[in-house]
Amino acid sequence: MVSVMEVCELLERSAIGTDIRESTLLFPFIEGAHVLALSLSVGLILITDLRLMGVVMRNRATSEIWSQFFPWMMSGFGVMFLTGSLLFWSHALSAYHSAAFRAKLVLLILSGLNAAIYHITIYRKLDQWDASPVPPMQARLAGWTSLVLWAGVITMGRIMAYTF
């Protein structure tokens, strides 16, 4: 049985990992794309969170904003996941040892859990509050939680780059 650390070491030492890490153009390009895609992924999440909190675009149904934003948000997350995976590949062992990276992963998982809980609870009753300017407490709480968790993800992402 190989350990997670050994897998990370193999990834970092692999030809692809080394090529990305040592490339003068590829690494900054991937990093730049990772940062700029923040606007589409977290930027759009932020506005949907603010709608859930009853702060912005109160006269539009929550479902309208969600269905309109979803494809763009997912494109942003697609770019984030792809570029993030490549960045991880190139620094897998450093990431393994980085407390900030571990914290970032935990925050990402918590953010997924928050979304899952929202979807299997209050979202099931969406037809009752879809058009309300201020959604029910549980939906507002999901919005706040998401906002705080994503701020944490960004902070940890920025800090981890210093530990490499």
Binding site for other proteins (CB under 8 A): 27-28, 31-32, 35-36, 38-40, 42-44, 46-47, 56-57, 60, 64-65, 68-69, 72, 151, 154-155, 158-159, 162
CB of residue 105 to other proteins, shortest distance in Å: 18
- Give the shortest CB-71-to-other proteins separation in angstroms: 9
Q: Pick between residue 62 and residue 122 the one whose CB is nearest to other proteins.
A: 62
Alpha-carbon separation of residue 15 from 5, 11, 23 (angstroms): 18, 8, 12
Distance CA 41, CA 4 (A): 28
For other proteins, give the closer residue by CB, 40 or 52. 40
Residue whose CB is less far from other proteins, 9 or 31: 31
Rounded least distance, CB 7 to other proteins, Å: 28
DSSP assignment letter at 61: -
Q: How far is the CB of 129 from other proteins (least distance, A)?
A: 19
Residue with tokens 């299997």: 120
- Tell which residue, 111, 92, 99, 97, has the closest CA to residue 152: 111
CB of 68 to other proteins, least distance (A): 5
Nearest one of 86, 97, 90, 80 to 11, comparing CA atoms: 90
**Separate counts of helices (H) and strands (E) for the chain:** 9, 0
57 φ/ψ sector (left φ>0, alpha ψ -120 to 50, else beta): left
Q: Which is nearer to other proteins, 60 or 125 (CB)?
A: 60
Nearest CB to other proteins, comparing residues 82 and 159: 159
